[in-house]
């Protein structure tokens, strides 16, 4: 998993993020991050879960209540595992922050949530090995 973003569905405001470069980092990660931000702007009538191909990667996302949790994975990463990860991360985010999501005015307000994202990412990536 290269990238995880959590955004508010109604306006696409990014609430939390975690970027993990692989093997020295991918300079295209900025490009994929920008693609993810564009996806967030089109969520109002989107399916609750979806996978979208983008070059050598796949975007997977789930919409839960007022948030969208999205990750960018290599094609070889199992889709089922990616969605299990997204369910885990989105549920924990809502457990910790549900009452504060609508009041947030600035992007990346919940940066401290990166710690949980990193733990969950490690758990699910290790399951794939």
pLDDT digits (tens, 9 = 90+) for 30-81: 888 888 988 888 877 788 999 999 989 999 999 999 999 999 999 999 999 9
Full-model pTM? 0.90
43 within domain boundaries? yes
pLDDT digits (tens, 9 = 90+) for 73-97: 999 999 999 999 999 999 999 999 9
Q: Choose among 15, 22, 12, 11: nearest CA to 114.
A: 15
65 within domain boundaries? yes
76 within domain boundaries? yes
Q: What is the pLDDT of residue 41?
A: 86
Q: What is the pLDDT of residue 24?
A: 42
Strand partners, 70: 5, 61
Q: What is the pLDDT of residue 28?
A: 73
109 within domain boundaries? yes
Burial state string for 8-46 with b = 16 or more CB within 10 A and e = fewer than 16: bbeebbbbbbbbbeeeeebeebeebbebbeebbeebeee
Domain count within the chain: 1
Q: Do 104 and 15 touch, CB atoms closer than 8 A?
A: yes
25, 79, 84, 18: CA torsion to nearest 10: 20
- For the chain, the first-to-last Cα distance in angstroms comes to 13
75 within domain boundaries? yes
CATH code, domain carrying 42 = 3.30.450.50
Residue 27 has pLDDT above 90, yes or no: no
129 within domain boundaries? no
128 within domain boundaries? no
Q: Do 38 and 49 touch, CB atoms closer than 8 A?
A: no
Place of tokens 């979806």: 50
Structural domain that includes position 77: 3-123
38 within domain boundaries? yes
């Amino acid at each position: 998993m290269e990238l995880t973003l959590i955004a508010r569905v109604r306006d696409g405001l990014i609430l939390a993020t975690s970027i993990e470069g692989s093997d020295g980092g991918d300079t295209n990660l900025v490009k994929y991050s920008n693609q993810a931000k564009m996806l967030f702007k089109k969520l109002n009538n989107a399916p609750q879960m979806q996978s979208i191909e983008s070059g050598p990667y796949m975007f997977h996302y789930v919409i839960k209540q007022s948030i969208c949790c999205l990750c960018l994975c290599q094609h070889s990463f199992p889709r089922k595992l990616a969605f299990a990860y997204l369910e885990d991360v989105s549920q924990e985010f809502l457990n910790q922050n549900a009452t504060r999501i609508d009041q947030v005015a600035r992007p990346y307000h919940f940066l401290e949530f990166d710690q949980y994202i990193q733990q969950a990412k490690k758990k699910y990536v290790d399951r794939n090995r």
